[in-house]
């Protein structure tokens, strides 16, 4: 199978009036952290085109270069439970949905892309039956061992038959819909697996936040679509599903939309939707994508200059957090080991590995206090509040953070 294929039609509306808005060049896969052995091998890792297109019909902002899924999701190092912010967010999510649907012990909750089972555990604590669907082998095995029934596969028509005759009262998919290439097939299966009175809830980064905050590092090969309200509602309409609620969380992944979808015909006409819609018309059109592309270049230059200037002055710099985003930011801005001594991350699965492309080693966070670097580049910028609070000691001892977005800035 070829590792990358390039489509020519919009994955929501099927039209082919796609216009290139941003080209990040060829970059490695964001989550393919290297083993120490691979990092010693001078053969460069595979790089794939990262180009962002705008659909002139439904306005979906999207990638059309599709990397083979097995290259990306076979083994996965991202854990939802790695941040307090995410744990709280998902527990509140389970609480709200349990109350909204009055879930009880006969109700089934299916989580697509269940990762380490964080959300399902919250539903289990509240008494519902649960089932995870997770394509990453390492994560599915871990959940099954912890008593969270998990099917190790991509969600699709075969999964629906395995869920059983008991249809789901609730299906959730968080940071999953953006990863799906065959969106229409996916929605058919969701609709098939959902009970008449059930709900489908999903979270995606909101394209307006990505553009407004200049968060270009959220663009990687796994994230095929950058959604706004308009293409989302167009998608659901095609599957006899209705978006009945829309919420915005500004502190999750730099800005996330949660949509709640029902089988019934209950068109949503709330103020939130109207505001969302108006803002998108102004802030997520082709011109805004072009403006974004110009600012991305400016950030690249500003950040590289700032870091080079600090190195010239003899300062030590490390990276804080090794999210997938770090691979994109560091490679796109050519920030390698000549600038960063190491990157810290709390996830044991990532420690001892290396950031793809730039090959900066990932170590445990304890190294910060041991090495006391002058500057820490905040790569996990979406947890800024949580991290600044946690790293008071480092800040008090004179350490400084460099926050890349919306513009490179030093915080002391
Ligand atoms: P995410 O942005 O994709 O959620 O990934 C965040 C990464 O940052 C994840 O690998 C865990 C790491 N992290 C830290 O190393 N320290 C922290 O305090 C937090 C909140 C996250
Ligand atoms: Zn379209």
Q: What are 324's two structure tokens?
A: 């997938």
Nearest atom in ligand 1 to 386's CA: 20
14: alpha, beta or left, given left = phi > 0 and alpha = psi -120 to 50?
left
Let me know if 138 is exposed, middle or buried by CB neighbors in 10 A (0-12, 13-18, 19+).
middle
Alpha-helix runs per DSSP H in 13-171: 36-40, 69-73, 84-101, 118-125, 137-145, 157-163
Cα 368 to the chain's mean position, in Å?
26
Cis peptide upstream of residue 142 (ω within 30 degrees of 0): no
Per residue in 348-358, is it b (16+ CB within 10 Å) or e — as a string? ebbbebbbbbb
Per-residue model confidence as pLDDT tens digits over 94-137: 999 999 999 999 999 999 999 999 999 999 999 999 999 999 99
Going from the Cα of 232 to the center of ligand 2, the distance in angstroms, rounded, reads 10
Percent of the chain past pLDDT 70, that is, above it, reads 97
Contact 327, 50 (CB under 8 A): no
Structure tokens at 386: 């949580």
The answer to whether 327 and 31 have CB atoms below 8 angstroms apart is yes
So what's the pLDDT on residue 334? 98
Query: What pLDDT, on the 0 to 100 scale, is given for residue 402?
Result: 98
Residues 6+ apart with CB under 8 A from 12: 55, 58, 60, 183, 225, 231, 234, 235
Over residues 267-294, mean pLDDT: 81
Answer yes or no: is the C-beta of 337 below 6 A from any ligand 1 atom.
no
Name residues whose C-beta falls within 8 Å of residue 28's C-beta, 6 or more positions apart in sequence.
45, 46, 47, 48, 327, 331, 356, 357
pLDDT above 80: residue 264: no
CA nearest ligand 1 atom 6, residue: 323
- Global pTM reads 0.94
Q: Which residue has the tokens 């930011």?
A: 329
- Range from 8-17, 30-39, 165-174, 260-269 carrying the lowest mean pLDDT: 260-269
Beta strands in 263-374 (DSSP E): 317-320, 343-344, 362-363
| pLDDT at residue 401 is higher than 90 | yes
Q: In 3-state terms, what secondary structure has residue 142? A: helix
| 8 A C-beta contact, residue 342 and residue 362 | yes
Strands 242-249 and 256-262: antiparallel
Residue 272 pLDDT level (bands cut at 50, 70, 90): low
pLDDT tens digits along 148-175: 999 999 999 999 988 877 799 999 999 9
Distance between Cα 207 and ligand 2 center (Å): 15
Q: Which ranges of 154-262 does DSSP label H, i.e. alpha helix?
A: 157-163, 183-193, 207-212, 229-237
Rounded Cα distance between 107 and 200, Å, is 14
Paired sense of beta strands 108-112 and 168-174, if any: parallel
Best probe residue, ligand 1, of 31, 79, 83 (max atoms within 8 Å of C-beta):
83
pLDDT at site 271: 67
Q: 269 C-alpha to center of ligand 2: Å? A: 23
Containing 28, the helix (H) or strand (E) segment is none
Q: Which of 116, 209, 253, 346 to mutate to test the pocket of ligand 1 (most atoms within 8 A of CB)?
A: 346
For β-strands 61-63 and 48-55, DSSP reports them as: antiparallel
CB neighbours of residue 234 within 10 Å: 16
Residue 309: CB atoms within 10 Å: 10
Q: How far apart are the first and last CA of the chain?
A: 50
| Ligand 1 centroid distance, CA of 76 (Å) | 14
> What is the helix, strand, coil percentage profile of the chain, to 5?
40, 25, 40
Structure tokens, 43: 């053969």
What's the CA gap between 129 and 103, in Å, rounded? 9
**Alpha-carbon distance values, 83 to 167, 302, 393 (Å):** 32, 29, 19
* Cα distance between residue 351 and residue 162, in whole Å: 36
Q: Does residue 345 have its Cβ closer than 6 Å to ligand 1? A: yes
Nearest bound ligand to CA 364?
1
Structure tokens at 301: 């230059």
DSSP summary character for residue 35? P
Query: Any idea which ligand is nearest the CA of 61?
Result: 2
Does ligand 1 have an atom closer than 6 angstroms to the CB of 318? no
Q: Is 31 in the pocket of ligand 1 (CB under 6 A)?
A: no
- The pLDDT, as a whole number, for residue 275 is 74
By most ligand atoms within 8 Å of CB, the mutation choice from 323, 330, 351 for ligand 1 is 323
* Mean pLDDT, residues 76-85 taken together: 84
Per-residue confidence (pLDDT) for residue 44, from 0 to 100: 94
Nearest CA to ligand 1 atom 1: 323
Among 47, 77, 67, 56, smallest CA distance to 14 is for: 56
Q: Is the dihedral of CA 337, 217, 47, 185 positive or negative?
A: positive
| pLDDT of 246 strictly over 80 | yes
Separation CA 402–CA 376 (nearest Å): 6
């Amino acid at each position: 199978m070829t590792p990358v294929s390039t489509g020519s039609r919009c994955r929501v509306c099927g039209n082919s009036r796609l216009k290139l808005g941003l080209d990040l060049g060829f970059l490695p896969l964001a989550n393919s952290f290297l083993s120490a052995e691979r990092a010693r091998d001078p053969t460069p890792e595979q790089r794939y085109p990262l180009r962002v297109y705008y659909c002139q019909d439904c306005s979906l902002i999207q990638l059309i270069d599709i990397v083979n899924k097995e290259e990306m999701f076979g083994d996965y190092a991202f854990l939802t439970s790695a941040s307090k912010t995410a744990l709280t967010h998902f527990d509140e999510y389970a609480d709200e949905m349990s109350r909204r649907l009055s879930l009880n012990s006969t109700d089934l909750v299916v989580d697509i892309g269940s990762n380490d089972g964080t959300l399902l555990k919250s539903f289990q604590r509240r008494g519902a039956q649960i089932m995870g669907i997770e394509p990453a082998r390492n994560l599915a095995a871990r959940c099954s061992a912890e008593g969270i029934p998990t099917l190790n596969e991509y969600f699709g028509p075969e999964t629906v038959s395995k869920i059983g005759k008991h249809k789901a009262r609730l299906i959730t998919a968080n940071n999953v819909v953006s990863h799906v290439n065959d969106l229409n097939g996916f929605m058919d299966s969701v609709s098939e697996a959902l009970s008449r009175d059930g709900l489908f809830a999903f979270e995606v980064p909101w394209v307006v936040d990505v553009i407004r905050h200049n968060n270009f590092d959220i663009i990687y090969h796994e994230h095929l679509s950058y959604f706004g309200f308009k293409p989302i509602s167009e998608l659901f309409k095609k599957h006899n599903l209705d978006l009945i609620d829309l919420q915005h969380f500004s502190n999750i992944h730099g800005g996330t939309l949660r949509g709640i979808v029902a089988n019934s015909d209950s068109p949503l006409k709330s103020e939130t939707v109207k505001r969302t819609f108006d803002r998108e018309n102004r802030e997520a059109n082709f011109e805004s994508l072009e403006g974004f592309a110009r600012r991305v270049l400016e950030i690249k230059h500003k950040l590289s200059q700032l870091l080079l200037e600090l190195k010239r002055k003899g300062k030590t710099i490390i990276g804080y957090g090794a999210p997938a985003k770090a691979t994109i930011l560091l490679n796109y801005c050519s920030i390698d080991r000549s600038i960063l001594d190491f990157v810290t991350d709390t996830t044991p699965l990532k420690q001892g590995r290396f950031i793809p492309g730039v090959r900066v080693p990932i170590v445990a966070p304890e190294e910060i206090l041991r090495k006391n670097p002058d500057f820490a580049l905040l790569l996990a910028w979406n947890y800024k509040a949580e991290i600044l609070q946690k790293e008071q000691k480092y800040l008090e001892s004179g350490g400084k953070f460099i926050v890349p977005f919306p513009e490179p800035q030093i915080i002391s």
